């Protein structure tokens, strides 16, 4: 079955380190998204991509970067981890053909910056 997977599921890192969270989908979806979820804020969009070599900034993009070198993967990099980036991160994908399709979410990565 097609799916979207995130790795690792849990990560503890130190302030100032570079961290990369992986997201891989096997639906061949054009669109991929990264969100962070914090108590009281719901999900907020970090970066998104509508296809290979396309990346865009979301609502809370400072301190994060993404790259899209193939259809299946959209890794999220924290350039220099900060305590404010402690959060649960979700990757999602959608077809991207009609504007009326659902998003499929990964299981999330819980990141703690100490």
Neighbours of 70 (CB within 10 A): 9
- Note whether 106 binds another protein by CB under 8 A: yes
Contact 2, 27 (CB under 8 A): yes
Q: How far apart are the C-alpha atoms of 41 and 12, rounded to whole Å?
A: 22
Q: Residue 85 in 3-state DSSP?
A: helix
- Note whether 11 binds another protein by CB under 8 A: no
Q: Which residue has the tokens 């991929």?
A: 32
The first and second tokens of residue 7, run together, are 């790795």
Q: Which residue has the tokens 């504007």?
A: 99
Interface residue with another protein among 13, 50, 55, 57 (CB under 8 A) is: 50
Q: How far apart are the C-alpha atoms of 109 and 76, rounded to whole Å?
A: 11
- Note whether 42 binds another protein by CB under 8 A: yes
- Note whether 48 binds another protein by CB under 8 A: yes
- Note whether 1 binds another protein by CB under 8 A: no
Q: Based on CB atoms, which residue is closest to another protein, 22 or 43?
A: 43
Q: Smallest distance from the beta carbon of 62 to another protein, in angstroms?
A: 15
Q: What residues numbered 57-96 form the site for another protein, per CB under 8 A? A: 58-59, 90, 92, 94-96
> Contact positions toward another protein, by CB under 8 A?
31, 33, 35, 40-45, 48, 50, 58-59, 90, 92, 94-96, 99-108
């Amino acid at each position: 079955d097609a799916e979207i997977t995130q790795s690792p599921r849990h990560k503890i890192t130190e302030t100032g380190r570079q961290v990369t969270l992986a997201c891989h989908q096997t639906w061949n979806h054009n669109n991929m998204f990264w969100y962070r979820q914090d108590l009281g804020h719901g999900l907020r969009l970090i970066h998104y991509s509508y296809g290979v070599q396309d990346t865009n900034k979301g609502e809370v993009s400072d301190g994060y970067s993404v790259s899209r070198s193939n259809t299946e993967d959209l890794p999220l990099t924290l350039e220099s981890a900060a305590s404010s980036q402690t959060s649960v991160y979700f990757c999602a994908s959608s077809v991207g053909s009609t504007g009326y399709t659902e998003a499929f979410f990964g299981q999330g990565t819980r990141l703690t910056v100490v």
